[in-house]
Structure 1
Amino acid sequence: MERLSHAINRRVDRGDWKSIRLSRNGPSISHLFFADDLVLFAEASMEQMLTIKATLDLFCECSGHKVSVSKTTIYFSKNCDVEERVALANCGGFELVDDLGMYLGVPLLHKRVTTATYRFLLDKIERRLSGWAARTLALAGRITLAKAVIQAIPNYVMQTAWLPKGVCDTIERMIRRFIWGGADGHRGVHLVRWEVLASNVKDGGVGLRHLHRHNEALIMKVGYRLITDTDKLWVQVLRHKYKWEGTLPSSIHRVGSSRLWQGVSQVWEEIRKGICWHIRDGWSTDFWWDCWLDDVGHLAPFSLNASASGGVKVAAMTNAAGQ
């Protein structure tokens, strides 16, 4: 696969392969590889389709591999003409789709997200619960299964998706019904309030997660990586697409943003509160607008000086002794 990557990069460098950009100044993307799966990006034109076919044919001839046409689909942006889509799909011999569906168990979203979007999670949990005879298990066994199995099912999706709160609430209701022995439409007797049951063991609970809060924690991890992993391609794409300005902007809310970005913007204030600044030489930290002083926030509101407009670094406000 590395040889194929090199072949694509050579064509991109020569200008034969026209890669795409998700924003005007963002990085160009021509291909993404994961294990034996690959996603190719190019301009929607017959010339580019022929270039893609020539590249794949050369790779197959040299390596002995073959492209699985039955497992390959082609997706176009909305501004591409319908007749042109059909012509390009027929030229490549690939199936034309309007939705890329799911990849690695996560939906590649292109439409408005609702509770129905994540119905597959609820169905998966229901199938798992239907295979367990809840009434024949002891309470301790049901709690263990709920913690180790049921709550782990949405964990993978939560790492990169901001789930609707209704989905989290529905999963918690299913867990409650299972723990108290509910089955076949019958609701078991709830002996303890859910808030008590889900609290920490030291507080008298059993340590069940609040799924919405757990989702928030995982999305906060994504937000932290957006701040620190600036060399990663996905970080560069997102930061350019949503016009990330400064080291740590006060707000990243954008109208019409993706579900992931909406989630990060929802927990952004909590992320900012938990960030600890390392000033180092002081030339990368804005004196007025970066929150580099604990419990103070940015200093712009405390000054009437024209320099509060930004651009002044911490190092410029110190003497040779660093004071």
Structure 2
Amino acid sequence: MKVVRKYKQASGQCINFKKSLILFGKRINATVRQQIKDTLGIQNEGGMSTYLGIPEDISGSKCKLFAFLKDKLMHRVNGWRGRWLSKGGKEVLIKSILLALPTYVMSSFLLPLAICENLASDIAQFWWSSTSPKRGIHWAKWEKLCLPRQEGGIGFRMIYEFNLAFLAKQLWRLVQYPDSLVARVLKGRYYRSSSPLRTISVSSPSYVWTSISAA
């Protein structure tokens, strides 16, 4: 509440607790939940389901959880179908839009391999198709298209490997900036007397830490 009061003094904005929601973890029992709600003055439980485009509750089947990425990608592709796009135009759309859609999610979470393969399959189908609803013949494997131009490819990204590269960047930031807030939080939970580069088995790790460890 002290933090809330400081925010009010600094910003001049007043929080409406009647319209606010509080989201509890599954391990918080009913007694503690009620104590927290009474202290904060927030009686409504719930959440926004998503925050900045990412689901709030990262639990259960990860394939179902991240299925929205395929829906977003197909929404874009369906809007382009019926247009007479050249291969050059398709290349620009794929590199600048389709392959960029999941990057925000991939910077924090390891996407299941099935999701990455589905995204790659949909992009490949868009690349080889002529006009809707024709599927088109796939004259080369997706892996071949992802090779650099000097090696006979087009330079598309391998989605799963690109995901690991994003997570490796987060891991490297933990090494380079050990005094940052996120580094101190993760250090206190997962590698208190070690280094983030050393794999240590911990009980009930978060999916964020599991994803970073995969790098």
Common topology (TM > 0.5): yes
Q: Identify which of 166, 170, 180 aligns with 2:118.
A: 170
Alpha-carbon distance in 2 for matches of 1:261, 1:163:
13
**1:183 deviation in Å?**
6.6
Does the 8 Å CA contact 2:174/2:196 hold for their aligned counterparts?
Answer: no
**1:176 deviation in Å?**
0.4
SS in 2 for 1:137: coil
Q: Identify which of 256, 265, 277 aligns with 2:213.
A: 265
Match of 1:219 in 2: 167
Unaligned runs of 5+ in 2: none
SS in 2 for 1:136: coil
Mapping of residues 100-249 of structure 1, within 5 Å: 101-133=49-81, 136-181=84-129, 186-247=134-195
Does the 8 Å CA contact 1:177/1:183 hold for their aligned counterparts?
Answer: no
Q: Identify which of 76, 92, 99 aligns with 2:41.
A: 92
Amino acid at match of 2:44: E
Amino acid at match of 1:242: Y
Alpha-carbon distance in 1 for matches of 2:190, 2:87:
48
* Count of residues paired in the alignment: 214
**Quick one: structure 1 residues 253 and 108, their matched pair in 2 at CA, closer, same or farther if it must change by over 3 Å?**
farther
Alpha-carbon distance in 1 for matches of 2:194, 2:35:
44
Alpha-carbon distance in 2 for matches of 1:185, 1:114:
30
SS in 1 for 2:185: helix
**1:227 deviation in Å?**
1.5
**Quick one: structure 1 residues 71 and 176, their matched pair in 2 at CA, closer, same or farther if it must change by over 3 Å?**
farther
Higher Cα Rg: structure 1 or 2? Answer: 1
Match of 1:20 in 2: none
Alpha-carbon distance in 1 for matches of 2:49, 2:57:
8
Amino acid at match of 2:26: K
Alpha-carbon distance in 1 for matches of 2:11, 2:97:
42
Mapping of residues 273-292 of structure 1, within 5 Å: none
Amino acid at match of 1:206: I
Percent same amino acid among aligned pairs?
28
**Quick one: structure 1 residues 67 and 214, their matched pair in 2 at CA, closer, same or farther if it must change by over 3 Å?**
same
Please provide the CA RMSD for this pair. 2.9
TM-score by length of 1: 0.58
Amino acid at match of 1:80: I
Match of 1:39 in 2: none
Cα distance per residue 1:207-263 (max 9 Å; x no partner): 000000000101001111122211011111111101343346542343431222212
Higher helix share goes to which structure? 2
User: Which of structures 1 and 2 has the larger relative contact order (alpha carbons within 8 angstroms, sep 6+)?
Assistant: 2
**1:264 deviation in Å?**
2.3
Match of 2:24 in 1: 76
Match of 1:59 in 2: 8
Higher strand share goes to which structure? 1
**1:86 deviation in Å?**
5.3
Mapping of residues 3-42 of structure 1, within 5 Å: 7-8=2-3
More moved, 114-123 vs 189-198: 189-198
Alpha-carbon distance in 1 for matches of 2:176, 2:18:
40
Cα distance per residue 1:159-185 (max 9 Å; x no partner): 111111111111101100111126766
Alpha-carbon distance in 1 for matches of 2:136, 2:146:
17
Unaligned runs of 5+ in 1: 9-51, 268-323
Alpha-carbon distance in 2 for matches of 1:154, 1:186:
26
Amino acid at match of 2:141: R
Alpha-carbon distance in 1 for matches of 2:8, 2:208:
35
Does the 8 Å CA contact 1:180/1:190 hold for their aligned counterparts?
Answer: yes
